[in-house]
Amino acid sequence: MNPRVFLEVDHLSPGERVKVGGEDGHHLVRVLRVGPLESVAIGAAGRGYLTQVESIDAKAGTVTLRVQNELSSHEAKLKVYLLQGMPKAEKTEFIIQHGTELGLNGFLLYQSNRAVARLDGKDAKKQTAKLVRWERVIREAAGQSQRDVVPTLAYAASWSELEKWLTGVAPGLILFLDEEEQALSLKAALTSYAEDALAEQFSQNASAVNASAEEESDGSVRPVVLCIGPEGGWDDNERQSFIQRLGAVPVTLGPRILRTETAGLVGAAAVFYHFHALGG
Binding mask 16-55 for a second copy (x = CB under 8 A): ----------------------------------------
With contacts defined by CB under 8 A, name the span among 26-34, 66-74, 127-135, 239-247 that binds a second copy. Answer: 66-74
Closest CB 55 distance from a second copy, rounded Å? 28
- List Cβ neighbours of 11 (8 Å cut-off, separation of 6 or more): 44, 45, 47
Select the residue interacting with a second copy from 27, 79, 98, 139 (CB under 8 A).
98
- The reply on whether position 147 binds a second copy by CB under 8 A is yes
User: Could you say whether residue 146 binds a second copy (CB under 8 A)?
Assistant: yes
Binding of residue 102 to a second copy (CB under 8 A): yes
Residue 255 to residues 22, 178, 214, 243: CA-CA distances in angstroms?
48, 11, 30, 21
Q: Is 180 in the site for a second copy (CB under 8 A)?
A: no
Give CA–CA dist 54/16, Å, rounded.
11
Decide whether 71 or 131 has the Cβ nearer to a second copy: 71
CB of residue 196 to a second copy, shortest distance in Å:
19
Using CA atoms, how far apart are residues 108 and 85, in angstroms rounded to an integer?
A: 8
Stretch that binds a second copy, among 29-37, 221-229, 238-246, 269-277 (CB under 8 A): 269-277
**Distance from C-alpha of 180 to C-alpha of 190, rounded to nearest angstrom:** 18
What is the C-alpha separation between 33 and 30, in angstroms, rounded? 5
| Binding map of a second copy across residues 182-211, x = CB under 8 A, - = no contact | -x-xxxx-----------------------
Based on the shown chain and the rule CB under 8 A, indicate whether residue 140 belongs to the binding site for a second copy: no
Region from 138-146, 166-174, 204-212, 237-245 binding a second copy, contact rule CB under 8 A: 138-146
Residues that bind a second copy in the complex, under the rule CB under 8 A: 1, 72-74, 76, 98, 101-103, 144-147, 183, 185-188, 251-259, 262, 265-266, 269-270, 273-274, 276-280
